[in-house]
Each structure stands twice: as structure tokens, then as C-alpha cells.
Amino acid sequence: MGEDCDSGHDGDNYGPWVWTAYRAYNELLRDKIKKKFEAEEGPWMDKLADLLVKVVAARWEGGRAGSKQTTELYEQLDKLLSE
């Protein structure tokens, strides 16, 4: 039994736990980054999401040939992306 405990110090027996710890660390970091983006970029991203939904709806209604509404929405999108 003592031999098994000693052989674990090279990391072979701990690999799954170490991998799980790294994964948890990365998930926590991801969550913190998402919170920062939400706080700083959330309102802008809300505008972008709304506009993209309108673009898709206009293209669906207007077909691939496009329409005046689609052109106006793309102009709004260009403006928003340059902010």
C-alpha cells in the first residue's frame, strides 16, 4: 500500500483530478470574463443582437434579391459596428 502512495507523486494517479481542477479554473475564468463583457459591452451587444434579428427577418421577407429595408438595416449595422 505504501508503494502505491509513493508512486502517485509523479502525477500518474492524479491526472484526472488535476485535469478537473484545470477545467474548473478555466470555467471560473470564463464566467468572470463573461461578466466583464456583459457589464462593459452588454448594452452595445443588445443593440447588435436586435439589429441582426431585424436583418435576418428582412432578408427572410424580402428574399435574396434584397430590399430597401435590408439596405437600410445594413447601413445601421455598419454604423453600429464602427462605434
In tens, the pLDDT along 21-71 reads 999 999 999 999 999 999 999 999 999 999 999 988 888 877 655 677 888
Give the C-alpha separation, 39 to 66, whole Å: 35
- Domain span including residue 75: 2-81
Split at pLDDT 50, 70, 90, the class of 2 is very low
pTM over 0.85: no
Total domain count for the chain?
A: 1
* Residue 9: predicted pLDDT: 60
- Whether residue 14 contacts residue 8, with contact meaning beta carbons closer than 8 Å, is answered with yes
* Residue 31: predicted pLDDT: 98
